[in-house]
Structure formats: structure tokens, C-alpha cells
């Protein structure tokens, strides 16, 4: 049986429509490409009139950039500090650049209306070969580079979520997601990324031309094995989840102050210590995480070897370490008393070995940086107060007469009593003897001393044997605030184990 197949008639109108669209598209693309190339070449064809004498190459490029309405792009490898002199009139930009750049071994190429400069030794004719365009691009500093990658652990824990990634020298950064992946944009190829994570050693990597950077962080075993005092004992930092700051004895030795409040001020983050007076022996007010936190103005709980105590009554030389527990997770073991933070002070203990004796002292002077400029002239003091009181109330403050004021004025410059002008004068008024005081004594300098001496002495005797251990500590502080107020503190500790 023979089967007959009939061909469908050709729709020439449809074919012509498709062909016409393709032809229009091709012409449009060709015209766009030609227009782009023509626009780019027109930049180098611009005529310039320029006169520059003994200016840096950078200044010359900036001047050309402004006049030709173009932009120069170059890396730090291209030196633009050399002084140049150029004088042209109605010259094309290409010839101006040849005259300016060629003698200095600098090549240029026009890319997207930008003139790219590179420190090369090839001629300009060779540089326009398309094969070299990719090579020239390595000298161009991109405006932005997007970098992606994954951060993992070297100890087989897999990827690390929450790793902090920061562009060095800026506040720009990001963190890894739950799968350890990240994505960040850096300004240029010279940017460096800093990878940091709790319990791991930070890494710094220069981006360069890489767009994919995978990082493996090494565990910081030393930091994780450090012992931190928490609760009623110690714990390794690797197992610690609460916010705890610690200060060691070696950190305290560099601050020869007389009380712990002064020493800890500024050493522990979020531990605020304020002083309302400069009186010797007065400690500062303690606050954890600020007045606006949950703590408010309430002080933290201070425990010295597990016993509540006063931070300012302990010898700084006896302190082994200070731990500040700042959040609920760290201070929960103390219940309601630890709601406003906890400060744990661990003192030194005796060790087995030969008996050792140590003595140290500090001597110093202090003076107020700011104080009231008190009026020490009796006449002016009385006159001003009396005038102010009279204007406010209509009555005299001192009830002095003009004769009294003359007596006071006569003694205004007497720093000590003059027998001819005694400070106390007895007058008979209405048959009664009245004592009038006309003194001009400087009570401010009498009571207060601008140079306040202080001294601190520490004596330590320690040793240990199989039968027990001995620790003897002597501590003394002497400070003077003013002539009538001296502060002394003594402490003797003699525990045996």
C-alpha cells in the first residue's frame, strides 16, 4: 500500500517577518557598538590647550580630567608624584598623553570612557592589542569586589556559624550563616578580611583578586584552658557561657594605688566606678552595666574568698584575681543577692617551700586639679555679702557701720595680727562691752593643704611545710586630706593552714 505525504505550503510572509526582525536587531547592535566605540574614541580626539609648569603628575592628570570630561584610573604602582612641565595648544588628548606619559614608562588605554594607566614597558601601539586588555585589568582597582566563602574549624567540628568577618580598618562586616557561609563586598583588591570567633585564633587575609576565600580557623587551646573564678569555685573558660571579666594580680601591680576601687577603675568593661569625694579612705560607688541597665543604681555583691566584704578594705597586694560576673547566666548561683552583678575577689595563699619575706612601699603627693578660688580678703568678702543680702532682703547681713568697715579696710592686707591694729576690738555700746572682730585670717590655706602626702607599706611573710602553711601580711596606708583630717588604715592577716 503506497502512502502519499503532502507538504504543507510555505508561509513566506512569516519567514519574511522573522528575517526582518533579525535584520533590525543586528543593525541596532552594530549601530550601538559603533556608537560606543565612536564615543570612546572621541575622548582621545578632543583638542586641549594646556600650560602647566613644575606641577606633580597627579595635578596634571586632574587638570586634564576636568577639561576633557573623562576619568583616569590607576593603581598605587603608578607613580604620580614626579613633577612635570607641559605646554600644548589645540592638541588632541592622545598626543598630550603620549607626550606626558610615554617618557615615564606609563601606558594608557581607553576602556568605557575611562583612561586606564599602567606601569608597563610596552609601547602604546602594542598595548591596544586585545590579548593584552586582560593583562591591563590587573592594574585597575575595582570599585567593589564581592567575596564569598565558607569558614570551618580545624578540629573536625565542621563549619562555624556566627563567625565575625570585618574589612580591616573599617566598620563594614558580616557573619557566617548556619552553614558557615558568608558573602561580603570589599572596596578594592588591597582590602584585608579579619575572621574572628570565640575560642579560635583570628586570621587576616588579603583579598587580592580572589572572589572565593575559604578559611579554616585554628582553636585557641591556651585561652580555652584558662581558669575563671565563677560561683563557689573555678571553671575552664571553654565551658563558660556567661559574661565574665577577670583581672589578674600581675595587672594590679602596675597601678600603685591605695584601694581596689581606684585600681579597678577603667580595667573591667561595664564595671562603672565613680567617686563623689577625694577624701582619703573613701571608696568609689560600684555599678555593673550602667545606670540604665537592669541593675540601676544598685551596687553589685562583693565576695572576698566567698565572704561578703568591702572591696576598699582589702590590701591590693593580697589580691590574686578579681572576677566580675555581669549577666544572669554567670551570677544565677547567687540568687537575688547577685541580681545586680557579682565581684569575686580571690586572695593569695601560702605555698610549700622556703619561707620568703617581701616588703614594698609607695610614697606620693597629690593635689586638687580644680578647686574654688575662695576670697581671702576680709573687707571685700564682708562688703559683697552685705550688699547682696541688703538688696535681696532690705536688711544688713553684718549690721556693720561705716566705722566698722573702715576698721576692716585698714587690716585688709594684714596676713598676721598687727599689735597696732588688733583683730578683736572691745567697744562700749550703751554701757555694754561689745567684741568686734576685724580679722583678715586666711582660713582656706590654714585648713587645706594643696600638697597631700600619702604612703603605703606592704609586708609579706609566707612559707609552708608538710604540717601546714603560714601566711603573714601587713598593710598600712597613711594619707592626709587637710591639716585637721588624716587617714590611717592598718591590716594584719595571719592565717595558718
Q: Identify the weakest region by mean pLDDT among 54-63, 435-444, 467-476.
A: 467-476
Residue showing cell 606619559: 101
Q: What would you report as the CA-atom Rg of the chain, rounded to the nearest whole angstrom?
A: 42
Per-residue model confidence (pLDDT) at position 209: 80
Q: What is the mean pLDDT of residues 296-325?
A: 83
Asked if the model's pLDDT at residue 433 lies above 60, the reply is yes
Distinct helix (H) and strand (E) counts, the chain: 12, 27
Asked if the model's pLDDT at residue 3 lies above 50, the reply is no
pLDDT digits (tens, 9 = 90+) for 29-39: 444 444 444 44
Task: Write out the three cell numbers for 447.
Answer: 585648713
Asked if the model's pLDDT at residue 1 lies above 50, the reply is no
Q: Identify the weakest region by mean pLDDT among 281-295, 309-323, 428-442.
A: 281-295
The neighbour count for residue 495, using CB atoms within 10 Å, is 12
Per-residue model confidence (pLDDT) at position 497: 46
Task: Write out the three cell numbers for 135.
Answer: 593583562
Q: What is the DSSP letter of 224?
A: H
Q: Identify the weakest region by mean pLDDT among 17-31, 197-211, 275-289, 326-340.
A: 17-31
pLDDT class for 123, splitting at 50, 70, 90?
very low
- H-run or E-run covering 275: none
CB 266 within 8 A of CB 284: no
pLDDT digits (tens, 9 = 90+) for 140-199: 444 578 899 999 998 777 899 989 999 998 888 999 998 999 999 998 888 999 999 887
DSSP bridge partners of 30:
none
- Between 87 and 443, the more confident residue is 87
Per-residue model confidence (pLDDT) at position 174: 92
Q: Which long-range contacts (CB under 8 A, 24 or more apart) does 118-121 make?
A: 118/74, 118/75, 118/77, 118/78, 119/77, 119/78, 119/79
Q: How far apart are CA 262 and CA 275, in angstroms?
A: 9
Per-residue model confidence (pLDDT) at position 329: 67
Asked if the model's pLDDT at residue 305 lies above 50, the reply is yes
Per-residue model confidence (pLDDT) at position 488: 61
Q: pTM of the entire structure?
A: 0.41
Per-residue model confidence (pLDDT) at position 34: 44
**By C-alpha distance, which of 315, 256, 348 is closest to 475?**
315
Asked if the model's pLDDT at residue 217 lies above 50, the reply is yes
Asked if the model's pLDDT at residue 407 lies above 80, the reply is yes
DSSP bridge partners of 357:
461
Q: How far apart are CA 7 and CA 228, in angstroms?
A: 91
Per-residue model confidence (pLDDT) at position 22: 55
CATH code, 145-222: 2.60.40.1120
Task: Write out the three cell numbers for 338.
Answer: 547577685
Query: What CA–CA distances, in Å, run from 81 to 62, 77, 202, 305?
Result: 13, 12, 37, 66
Q: What is the DSSP letter of 418?
A: B
Q: How far apart are CA 108 and CA 68, in angstroms?
A: 15
Per-residue model confidence (pLDDT) at position 11: 54
* Ranges of each domain in the chain: 42-137, 145-222, 225-347, 353-366+449-493, 378-441
Beta-sheet strand order (sheet of 244-248): 244-248, 319-325, 342-347, 301-304, 307-308
Per-residue model confidence (pLDDT) at position 234: 52
Question: Which phi and psi angles does 346 have, rounded to 5°?
Answer: -110, 125
Per-residue model confidence (pLDDT) at position 66: 83
Q: Identify the weakest region by mean pLDDT among 71-80, 156-165, 324-333.
A: 324-333
Cβ-based neighbours of 479, under 8 Å, separated by 6 or more: 258, 280, 281, 452, 453, 454, 455, 486, 487, 488
CATH code, 42-137: 3.55.50.30
Pairing of strands 244-248, 47-56: unpaired
Beta-sheet strand order (sheet of 203-206): 173-175, 164-167, 192-196, 203-206
Q: How far apart are CA 41 and CA 92, in angstroms?
A: 11
Task: Write out the three cell numbers for 487.
Answer: 587617714
Task: Write out the three cell numbers for 400.
Answer: 556693720
**By C-alpha distance, which of 44, 34, 87, 88 is closest to 69?**
44
pLDDT class for 214, splitting at 50, 70, 90?
very high
Give the fold, CATH level 3, of 225-347. Answer: Ferric Hydroxamate Uptake Protein; Chain A, domain 1 (2.170.130)
Q: How far apart are CA 275 and CA 277, in angstroms?
A: 6
Asked if the model's pLDDT at residue 484 lies above 50, the reply is no
Q: How far apart are CA 281 and CA 260, in angstroms?
A: 11
Task: Write out the three cell numbers for 244.
Answer: 565574665
Q: How far apart are CA 149 and CA 181, in angstroms?
A: 6
Q: How far apart are CA 161 and CA 182, in angstroms?
A: 9
CB 424 within 8 A of CB 441: no
DSSP3 helix / strand / coil % (the chain, rounded to 5): 25, 35, 35
SS3 352: coil
Highest mean pLDDT among 363-367, 407-411, 435-439: 407-411
Q: What is the DSSP letter of 398?
A: S
Beta-sheet strand order (sheet of 71-73): 71-73, 114-119, 106-111
Asked if the model's pLDDT at residue 9 lies above 80, the reply is no
pLDDT class for 496, splitting at 50, 70, 90?
very low
pLDDT class for 395, splitting at 50, 70, 90?
confident
Per-residue model confidence (pLDDT) at position 127: 44
- As a whole-number percent, the residues of the chain with pLDDT over 90 amount to 8
Per-residue model confidence (pLDDT) at position 239: 44
Per-residue model confidence (pLDDT) at position 473: 54
- Between 315 and 328, the more confident residue is 315
Q: What is the mean pLDDT of the chain?
A: 74
Per-residue model confidence (pLDDT) at position 352: 67
Question: Which phi and psi angles does 332 have, rounded to 5°?
Answer: -60, -30
**By C-alpha distance, which of 52, 33, 157, 151 is closest to 96?**
52
Amino acid at each position: 500500500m503506497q502512502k502519499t505525504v503532502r507538504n504543507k505550503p510555505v508561509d513566506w510572509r512569516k519567514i519574511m517577518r522573522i528575517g526582518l526582525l533579525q535584520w533590525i536587531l543586528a543593525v541596532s547592535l552594530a549601530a550601538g557598538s559603533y556608537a560606543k566605540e565612536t564615543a570612546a574614541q572621541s575622548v582621545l580626539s578632543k583638542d586641549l590647550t594646556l600650560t602647566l609648569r613644575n606641577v606633580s603628575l597627579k595635578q596634571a592628570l586632574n587638570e586634564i580630567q576636568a577639561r576633557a570630561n573623562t576619568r583616569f584610573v590607576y593603581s598605587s604602582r603608578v607613580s604620580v608624584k614626579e613633577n612635570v612641565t607641559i605646554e600644548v595648544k589645540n592638541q588632541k588628548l592622545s598626543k598630550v598623553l603620549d607626550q606626558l606619559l610615554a617618557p615615564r614608562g606609563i601606558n594608557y588605554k581607553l576602556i568605557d570612557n575611562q583612561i586606564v594607566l599602567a606601569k608597563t614597558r610596552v609601547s602604546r601601539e602594542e598595548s591596544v592589542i586585545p590579548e593584552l586588555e586582560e593583562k591591563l585589568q590587573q592594574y585597575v582597582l575595582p570599585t567593589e569586589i564581592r567575596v564569598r566563602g565558607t569558614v570551618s574549624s580545624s578540629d573536625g567540628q565542621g563549619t562555624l556559624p556566627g563567625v565575625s568577618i570585618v574589612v580591616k580598618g573599617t566598620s563594614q562586616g558580616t557573619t557566617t550563616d548556619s552553614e558557615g557561609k558568608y558573602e561580603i563586598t570589599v572596596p578594592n583588591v588591597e582590602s584585608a578580611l579579619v575572621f574572628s570567633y570565640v575560642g579560635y585564633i583570628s586570621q587576616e587575609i588579603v583579598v587580592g583578586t580572589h572572589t572565593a576565600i575559604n578559611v579554616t580557623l585554628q582553636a585557641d587551646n591556651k585561652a580555652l584552658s584558662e581558669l575563671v573564678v565563677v560561683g563557689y569555685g573555678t571553671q575552664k573558660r571553654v565551658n563558660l557561657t556567661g559574661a565574665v571579666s577577670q583581672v589578674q594580680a600581675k595587672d594590679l601591680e602596675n597601678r600603685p594605688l591605695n584601694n581596689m576601687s581606684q585600681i579597678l577603675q577603667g580595667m573591667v568593661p561595664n564595671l562603672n566606678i565613680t567617686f563623689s569625694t577625694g577624701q582619703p579612705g573613701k571608696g568609689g560607688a560600684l555599678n555593673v552595666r550602667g545606670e540604665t541597665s537592669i541593675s540601676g543604681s544598685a551596687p553589685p555583691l562583693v565576695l572576698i574568698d566567698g565572704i561578703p566584704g568591702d572591696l576598699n578594705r582589702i590590701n591590693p597586694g593580697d589580691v590574686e584575681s578579681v572576677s566580675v560576673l555581669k549577666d544572669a547566666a554567670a551570677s544565677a548561683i547567687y540568687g537575688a543577692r547577685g541580681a545586680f552583678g557579682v565581684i569575686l575577689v580571690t586572695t593569695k595563699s601560702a605555698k610549700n617551700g622556703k619561707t620568703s619575706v617581701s616588703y614594698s612601699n609607695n610614697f606620693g603627693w597629690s593635689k586638687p586639679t580644680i578647686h574654688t578660688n575662695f576670697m581671702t580678703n576680709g573687707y571685700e568678702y564682708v562688703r559683697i555679702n552685705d550688699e547682696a543680702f541688703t538688696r535681696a532682703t532690705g536688711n544688713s547681713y553684718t549690721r556693720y557701720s561705716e566705722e566698722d568697715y573702715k576698721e576692716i579696710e585698714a587690716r585688709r592686707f594684714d596676713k598676721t595680727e598687727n599689735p597696732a591694729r588688733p583683730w578683736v576690738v572691745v567697744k562700749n555700746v550703751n554701757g555694754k562691752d561689745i567684741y568686734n572682730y576685724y580679722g583678715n585670717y586666711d582660713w582656706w590655706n590654714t585648713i587645706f593643704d594643696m600638697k597631700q602626702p600619702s604612703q603605703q607599706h606592704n609586708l609579706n611573710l609566707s612559707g609552708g611545710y608538710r604540717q601546714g602553711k603560714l601566711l603573714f601580711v601587713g598593710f598600712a596606708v597613711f594619707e592626709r586630706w587637710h591639716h585637721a583630717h588624716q587617714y590611717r588604715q592598718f591590716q594584719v592577716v595571719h592565717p595558718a593552714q
